[in-house]
Amino acid sequence: MATRDTRITTYLGAFFSDWITGMCGPLSVPFAALAIWSTQSTQKTLWGCLAVSSFFVASFRVWRNERLHGEGQLAELNSTVEEKNAQIAERDGIIRTFQEKPKRTAAEQHHYETAKKALEELGPNARIALCHLKIHGELTFGTYNPVLPAGWGGDQLRGMYISLAVRGLVSQKAGKRGSGEMTFDISPTMNGVLDELLYHPEGE
């Protein structure tokens, strides 16, 4: 920690740093002497007032200059601190950018965009059909229909799953030859992104 400069030479340097202080400071000494040795009361009072005035003017100028100098240094220090803080904040932001793990891999992002586009094209019914399939794991259509969502027919639901299979969101497997069975389940590559799209839509 730096030590304070309290030397007499430093004080004198500050005292005589401007011409007003230099004039008022030295002048207060002869004024004071003249006030003491003067014989006439009026002159004595006048010289005494001049001596006191010169002393206070000189002292005030030294105090004022030191205050202005100190405030200037403080403002410069604050400016430096703010600049350093801004640099630190910028550095921390860059570090966080490199440390943050990408939300999705390139493959996951591709599957996400594919599923999102399919849901936009097929509308709200596609979400209902996919949620229903996620609940039941897989659904087989054949001689009899599987469990259906409320208000849906078997042909309607099967048609929706075929459309979703074409877009890669659903896997489609045929049953035994001639049975007419068709089984659907969620495509493994789409399972994660569908969780995000169906249950955590963007903007919610």
pLDDT at 3: 62
**Which residues face 141 on adjacent strands?**
182
How far apart, in whole angstroms, are the C-alpha atoms of residue 58 and residue 63? 9
Q: What is the pLDDT of residue 94?
A: 74
pLDDT of residue 159: 93
Mean pLDDT comparison of 92-96, 125-129, 142-146, highest-scoring range: 125-129
pLDDT exceeds cutoff 80 at 41: no
Tell me the pLDDT of the chain averaged across its residues.
76
Q: What SS3 state is found at 84?
A: helix
Q: What is the pLDDT of residues 150-201, one digit of tens each?
A: 999 999 999 999 999 999 999 999 877 777 889 999 999 898 888 888 887 5
The torsion region of residue 168 among left (phi > 0), alpha (psi -120 to 50) and beta comes to left
Six token digits for residue 144: 């009899």
With H, G, I as helix, E, B as strand and everything else as coil, classify residue 96: helix
Q: Collapsing DSSP states into helix, strand and coil, what is residue 20?
A: helix
pLDDT in tens, 113-135: 999 999 999 999 999 999 999 99
State both tokens at 42: 């009026």
Q: Report pLDDT for 126.
A: 93
> Is 28:60 a contact under the CB 8 Å cutoff?
no
